[in-house]
Structure 1
Amino acid sequence: MYQVLLVDDETSVVDALAIRIPWQELGIDQVFKAYSAYEAIEWFQAENIDLVITDIRMPGMTGLELIGKLKALKSRTKCVLLTGFAEFEYAKQALQSEASDYLLKPVSNEDLIATVRRLVEELAEEWEEVSSFQRASYTLKENLPLLRANLLTDLLGGFKMNTDSLSEKLHLLEIPFRPGDGYCMLLLRMEDEFLKYENYGIDLIEYAVFNMAEEIFGADFHVWFGKDTHAYLVLLIKVDSNSAQALDSGRALLESKAAELQSSVKQYLKGTVTVLLSNQSLFPSGVAEVYDTMLLEMRKIARGHNGFLKTVEVQANKVYIQSLQSLYEPPMFSQLLEAGRWEEAGEKLDQIFAELSVKWGDSVEHINEVYYTIISAYNYIAHKSGKQLVDIIGLKQMELELPQRRFMDRFREWALSGLNAIRDELDRENRNANTAIIKQAQQFMEERLSDDVSLQAIANHVYLNPGYLSKLYKLETGENISDYLYRLRMDKSAFYLKNSNHKIQEICELLGYQNTSYFIKMFKKHFGVTPQDYRNSL
């Protein structure tokens, strides 16, 4: 559905068009009304307007000038000019101003409906082209390497995804891995010689390493590349057969090619890499576990002991003491707090405590691990918001002693209580901040009535996007900025008429109206009498 803006300094024309045309049937979801070009610009900045129907002859700014300004803001907008003058010069100017059509007033319903229907169809065709499958496919192919690497990073981090969704994503990204496939993991650490490179330089080096790996492994294996959060390079290598003989020969071949990659990097890129190669696992359930084991082994090889090539045996049945999976799988608890996703943060706590109760309820270390992670996240979000945590949740709630942590219900209650206190405090602060912004905007309008009080100027003053400011103002006050500005001008005009000897034209200028006749029309619409009659009545 689309949105239309009707613009005319004759209020009766705008109001009539809004009522008499079956906009919904034409695919128009919402109709906005503006009674001047300046008000039209404010609506245009605040809303996603697709179609503008405007008069040519308006005080202060013509429809032709208005179209020029609107096209500069959003070139895809369709504009229709209405005028009572049929001179060729107007038609010529209309075409030069990129108007989509030109209709003579009084325009018939049939002509306007036909024009709107045609322009809506044009809009639909243009957006269909923009969002077309071909263009989306082209964009997807352009970004395939990055998207593939991001998916691998998610899997390494333990991101949960059901089998169907994962298979669909793998197919879309043209990654030749499927659930149940055998694979080996290769973890590469760029050593000291490469640390001298700046970000751009190291990116090129890493790209060269990936190209070498593709050349070396690609003839015998499918390879999936990525980079982890520690700046290690990660390769998943698909193994096609699960037979013992194939595994032995495949392992020997992989080790040989890993050594070849290491040698090629040394020869052509003048640096060393430490390489770890895992044994075979099944995709995707073991990816995060294999990766964690590889990281553990990589930490054992200190930097400076360069050029190692080591095969790591990841034993599927071996029991490890592990951290809580739900505590560290993305999205992290601190990330949910930072994004203000309070409901999801509460669900995250439920997951953490469910796992803690079932698996590690008797482990003091795991209980402490959860406690310090949560209190650290609360401190982080409080300090980032410019506050002390103790001021938000209180001194008694600040800490929970170990004996109390061992009672899961009490521990969980403490965590949720802290979450609710932080949410309430930050929501209150946001409301106060919004109130301050509204007051700033209103003060700016009151002090600058005779100057530029456009939506853009007000937004610049409070350092916000015009569209966001417009929606925030309506949410907080229940009225549009243009409504407040109109009411403010009318109140001020009544004040000047009562308490000053200013002429009508002078009052018009003090209120920021550029056309006296337009001011008189708006005053009469509001008070029911002209400004002079209003003054005389006093």
Structure 2
Amino acid sequence: MYTLLLVDDEEEVIEAIVKKVKWEELGFQVTGHANNGFKAMDMLEEMQPDVVMTDIRMPYMDGLELCAHIKAKYPATKILLFTGFDDFEYAKEAVHLEIEEYILKPLNAVEITEVFKRLKEKLDYEISEKRNTDLLKKYYADSLPMLQANLYTTLIEGRIPEEEMPHYFKDYQIAFTGPWYCCLIIHTSASQVPEGMDIRLLSVSVDRQAGENLGEKWNAKRFRYLGDTIMIMQLKSEEEISELTDACDRFCKYIHHIMGAKVTIGIGQVCGHIAKIAASYQSAREAVSYRVLYGSNRAINLKEIVPQRKIQRDAGEKTELSNVFKKICLGENEDIANAIEVYMQHNFLDLKSLEKYHVAVMELIGELYHFMVNNEMDTTKIPGGIGSLYNELCNLEPQVLQKWLLKFCCMLHDDMADARYHSKKSLIGRAKEYVHDNYQQEDLGLDDICKELGVSNSYFSSMFKKETGNSFVGYLTEYRMDKAARMLVETAEKSYMIAKSVGYSDPNYFSYVFKRQFGVSPSKYRTAYEKNEK
């Protein structure tokens, strides 16, 4: 079933469309309807329907403005316009918006049925093309040339000396113009695969879609590595990372909707020279691993989810101690205990020399210290300092040392979890404070607050909803309405002046939002209060 969102300010028109057309037989499901463009925009963010069918003439935002917004943010969504004869020529001027069909009022069930039959054939063809096994196999065989793929792999592994890079880039006809770069890792879950789909072909399809949806805008270099799609993105400015994060988040949701795949995108740190792309790749790997905490089917920018910590580069080798550190960041106490068990077994329990035992203790203390410094933890929590700790631990039996290490690592785990919690609370608090200081601005929106906080729209929206139970737009609206209600009962200001003072230039739209919030118009709200006072 393809999903359909209906948009018209006349309820009876929507009811007629829903009742007169046999949508399920056509292969469509009406998942919602909106009575104006603003409400439709909110619903689009949550529903991301396959098709939007909208009238042109509507209050506050007309259908063509809505179409422009849809094409800018959801280019895969199909749009149908229905309108009166007088507006038909005006509607045809919107050919650049790639409208699928124009339907004249009064609406006819037979005509609508024929339009949606054609539309379903087109949607079926587009999706079958994306899922066609033969095409995917051919694309897999004809992917990036071997030499370029090998070069990109060597680049992210940090094995090309900086002074030799221009030579390699020239030989392989690769242009890195930047001036800023970051690495993406696009990971397709192998445990949640649509029925009948081969994971290898699914991954290749995701790879192809990533190139089409993300590659061109950021002049990306794309290749496969360790089962994932890697993209080296080129940014015009360091701040563009927020826009890229939002685009990646939309891509994950789009892929899940179209193909049923669970995709996570890890976004690495931004660097000012291609020679440092290896560090960006390592931080992207770490970001992907955070899906165990933040969930898959989304983009994860490590700089956003751990704002008070430095982005740490993993050691290239998978040592037992690096696994302990990973569990401190991502696991639970039981996971930490298991990782420590393996570490102690391989590094302490089989040692026969006292000298080697002391060296192992010294290395352990050094690694713990560096882990704390790299993650901006308080090193004074090391009892007695480094020197005293070395003397203490060298005299412990391995079993006692293991108990001490578990206790210390669990303390580090709690410290990191506490830092994440307070970072989220701080972010939400700063957002609310910004609203309180700027709610009078008419154009205040999600983009403004995210730019102020330095985070992507997708991360902030999900975090704000999770922490407050309300969307940012919903919170802003409620705050404005509360301010307006107070002014109505505490001042004699005209309604249109109050509307302007809380960020609404259109008094009619202000009245509409106020009534939706309180159930009565501003004037009736004031009158009811005055009666109660008497």
- TM exceeds 0.5? yes
- The 1-side partners of 2:366 and 2:331 are apart by 17
1:512 aligned to 2:512? Answer: no
Alignment of 1:103-502 (within 5 A): 103=103, 119=119, 122-123=122-123, 125-130=125-130, 132-133=132-133, 134-135=135-136, 137-138=138-139, 141-142=143-144, 144-145=146-147, 197-201=163-167, 328-329=317-318, 333=322, 337=326, 340-342=329-331, 347-356=338-347, 360-364=350-354, 367-368=357-358, 371-391=361-381, 399=389, 401-408=392-399, 410-446=400-436, 447-502=438-493
Write the letter of the residue equivalent to 1:58. M
Alignment coverage as a number of residue pairs: 380
Aligned equivalent of 1:58? 58
Write the letter of the residue equivalent to 2:165. N
8 Å CA contact 2:11, 2:35 repeated in 1: yes
Q: Greater CA radius of gyration, 1 or 2? A: 1
Q: Which secondary structure does the structure 1 equivalent of 2:92 belong to? A: helix
Q: Which secondary structure does the structure 1 equivalent of 2:444 belong to? A: coil
- The 2-side partners of 1:385 and 1:439 are apart by 23
520 and 338 in structure 1: CA distance in 2 versus 1, 3 angstrom threshold? same
Aligned-pair Cα RMSD in Å: 4.8
338 and 407 in structure 1: CA distance in 2 versus 1, 3 angstrom threshold? closer
- The 2-side partners of 1:30 and 1:331 are apart by 53
Write the letter of the residue equivalent to 1:80. L
Q: Which secondary structure does the structure 2 equivalent of 1:142 belong to? A: coil
Work out which structure has the larger RCO, using CA pairs closer than 8 Å and 6 or more positions apart in sequence: 1
- The 1-side partners of 2:495 and 2:378 are apart by 56
- Report the Cα offset of residue 439 of structure 1: 2.0
- Report the Cα offset of residue 390 of structure 1: 2.8
1:77 aligned to 2:62? Answer: no
526 and 338 in structure 1: CA distance in 2 versus 1, 3 angstrom threshold? same
8 Å CA contact 1:356, 1:366 repeated in 2: no
Which range is displaced more, 88-97 or 98-107? Answer: 98-107
- The 2-side partners of 1:521 and 1:206 are apart by 61
80 and 457 in structure 1: CA distance in 2 versus 1, 3 angstrom threshold? farther
Q: Percent identity?
A: 26
What does the per-residue CA deviation read over 1:413-445, in whole Å, with 9 as the maximum and x for residues that have no partner? 333323322222222222211112112222223
What does the per-residue CA deviation read over 1:250-304, in whole Å, with 9 as the maximum and x for residues that have no partner? xxxxxxxxxxxxxxxxxxxxxxxxxxxxxxxxxxxxxxxxxxxxxxxxxxxxxxx
Aligned equivalent of 1:254? none
8 Å CA contact 1:449, 1:510 repeated in 2: yes
- Report the Cα offset of residue 64 of structure 1: 0.5
What does the per-residue CA deviation read over 1:148-195, in whole Å, with 9 as the maximum and x for residues that have no partner? 6899999x9xxxxxxxxxxxxxxxxxxxxxxxxxxxxxxxx99xxxx8
8 Å CA contact 1:42, 1:456 repeated in 2: no
8 Å CA contact 1:54, 1:63 repeated in 2: yes
What does the per-residue CA deviation read over 1:348-379, in whole Å, with 9 as the maximum and x for residues that have no partner? 43332233366x24344654565455444443
Gapped regions of structure 1 (runs ≥ 5) = 157-188, 208-325
Alignment of 1:30-49 (within 5 A): 31=31, 36-41=36-41, 44=44
- Report the Cα offset of residue 489 of structure 1: 2.5
- The 2-side partners of 1:373 and 1:113 are apart by 73
Q: Which secondary structure does the structure 2 equivalent of 1:352 belong to? A: helix
31 and 333 in structure 1: CA distance in 2 versus 1, 3 angstrom threshold? farther
506 and 45 in structure 1: CA distance in 2 versus 1, 3 angstrom threshold? same
- The 2-side partners of 1:25 and 1:417 are apart by 62
Aligned equivalent of 1:97? 97
8 Å CA contact 1:56, 1:82 repeated in 2: yes
- Report the Cα offset of residue 94 of structure 1: 4.7
Write the letter of the residue equivalent to 1:63. G
